[in-house]
Amino acid sequence: MDVTNRLLRVYQIDRQLAGLQSRLRAAERFFAEQSKQLAILDAKHDALDRQIKQINAAVANLENDTRSTDQRLEQIREQMNASRTNKDYKTYLTEVNTLKADKGKVEEDAIGQMGRADELKAELAELDTQRAKRAKMRDVAEAQCNERKAEISGRVEQLKKERIEAAEDVPTNMLADYERLYEHREEDAMAPMEITDVKRHEYHCGACMMAIPMQSGVALLTGQFTNCPNCQCILYLSAETADAITPTSKR
Ligand SMILES: [Zn+2]
């Protein structure tokens, strides 16, 4: 096996690993998105909850005010009953009317605030329904993620072992060059030389689709390590192409 074919084994294992891991990445992205959405709903829940508590505290204050007013009114009524002069009586009556008017406003305010609290409670209930649904989706996404991890872990371990073995067959400097190329180009690090016109001996690169000069084509056909002069990928010869190019008499 020439060096290109030995490198091709490494490349094919790298592609299989990438394929397996991309499925896991997709599941991980979905899980991350669900977790993020759930966190947004949690934040909304907390904000609503805080608002409701603030309103409840305000209503409790207003109710205290009303109770104080009631106590004061009770006192005044007693004083009115005990009043000796008409003037005193009238002074108390004015105070009673003022207190009653104030109390009316406070009660109105409290009713308004309680109405607002009810609206917010309904919003909170609606939000909690959404939140429960989202939490279920998050759990499903998490399970999917773990399932996929378990699914591929055996195969990934196996492929990693195979890659170590395959890489041992490739000269170190060549492997390093390939790995640099793979880091940038991934799938396009290696490409088959494809036939443009078999009779005219015209070929092109399977990655960039540009024509391959005759001398590069010949070099590859004679088992030499060859890069595409245009995109620099490492060219290889597939079995079908080799078959198609080799004259029938030589097969
Ligand atoms: Zn190319």
CATH number at residue 7: 1.10.287.1490
Q: How far is the CA of 212 from the centre of ligand 1 (A)?
A: 8
pLDDT (0 to 100) of residue 248: 60
Q: Is pLDDT at 249 greater than 80 in this prediction?
A: no
Q: How far is the CA of 21 from the centre of ligand 1 (A)?
A: 26
Q: What one-character-per-residue DSSP string does 165-230 give?
A: HHHHTS-HHHHHHHHHHHHHHGGGGEEEEEEEETTTTEEEETTT-PEEPHHHHHHHHTT---B-TT
pLDDT, one tens digit per residue, over 125-160 is: 999 999 999 999 999 999 999 999 999 999 999 999
Q: Which of 241, 197, 243, 193 is nearest to 219 (CA)?
A: 193
Q: Which of 192, 214, 199, 203 is nearest to 247 (CA)?
A: 199
Pure H helices in 83-171:
86-168
Query: Predicted confidence band at 201 (pLDDT cuts at 50, 70, 90)?
Result: confident
Q: Which of 52, 201, 53 is nearest to 120 (CA)?
A: 52
Q: How far is the CA of 231 from the centre of ligand 1 (A)?
A: 4
Pick the more confident residue, 249 or 86: 86
- The C-alpha atoms of residue 132 and residue 38 are separated, in whole angstroms, by 9
Q: How far is the CA of 210 from the centre of ligand 1 (A)?
A: 6
Q: Is the pTM of this model over 0.75?
A: no
pLDDT (0 to 100) of residue 247: 67
DSSP assignment, residue 2? Answer: -
Q: For the purposes of burial, counting CB atoms within 10 Å of the CB of 243, is it exposed (0-12), middle (13-18) or buried (19 or more)?
A: exposed
Domain match, 112 and 11 both? yes
Q: How far is the CA of 14 from the centre of ligand 1 (A)?
A: 19
Give me the domain span that covers residue 235: 175-250
Q: Total domain count for the chain?
A: 2
End-to-end CA distance of the chain: 18
Locus of tokens 């998490």: 142
Kindly state the percentage of the chain with pLDDT values over 90.
86
> Ion ligand 1 — residues with CB under 5 Å?
205, 207-208, 228, 230-231
Q: Torsion angle of alpha carbons 211, 212, 215, 220, nearest 10°? A: -150
pLDDT, one tens digit per residue, over 5-52 is: 999 999 999 999 999 999 899 999 999 999 999 999 999 999 999 999
Average pLDDT over the chain, rounded to an integer: 94
In this prediction, residues 116-127 reach a mean pLDDT of 97
Domain match, 220 and 109 both? no
CA 220, 186, 23 angle in degrees (round to 5)? 130
pLDDT (0 to 100) of residue 22: 92
Domain match, 106 and 161 both? yes
Query: Predicted confidence band at 242 (pLDDT cuts at 50, 70, 90)?
Result: confident
Neighbours of 113 (CB within 10 A): 17
Domain match, 44 and 79 both? yes
